[in-house]
Amino acid sequence: MKKKLKPRMDSKKKEPFGALYRDGEVYSQEAPKVYDHDFSSLQTGLVVPHGIYDIVQNKAFINLNSSKDTADFVYDSLLFWWQRVRFNTQMPTIC
């Protein structure tokens, strides 16, 4: 019996990257110096997360990009995921 894939794709909110304040805890010897506001002029870039999740195999693949969330990025992410899945399983079918 062939394994079947049921992939789900999603792209989440773009996150500013840089020495900007974030809620949460940091585990380090000393607190990092960060700006207390996240103005776009203070950020050094954007991180765009794109996820593909297979609900049958309960496996996820996350791809991070530092440019825009474009169709090329989605295509490249899906292609890279498919190449990894295809070589790690016995040619699954997509339904």
Tokens in use for 51? 């996820």
d(C-alpha 7, C-alpha 12), whole Å = 16
The number of domains in the chain is: 1
pLDDT value for 93: 53
Look up the domain containing 87 and give its range: 4-94
d(CA 52, CA 80): 11
Percent of the chain with pLDDT over 90: 0
Q: Give the up-direction half-sphere exposure of residue 13: CA atoms within 13 A in the CB hemisphere.
A: 3
Backbone angles phi, psi at 20, to 5 degrees: -115, 150
In degrees, rounded to 5, the angle at the alpha carbon of residue 11 between the alpha carbons of residues 7 and 12 is 130
Highest mean pLDDT among 8-22, 52-66, 80-94: 52-66
Q: State the pairing for strand pair 4-5/59-65.
A: unpaired
Q: Check residue 91 and give its pLDDT.
A: 47
* Residue 30 confidence (pLDDT): 84
Average pLDDT score over the chain: 77
Region 7-30: what's the mean pLDDT?
A: 79
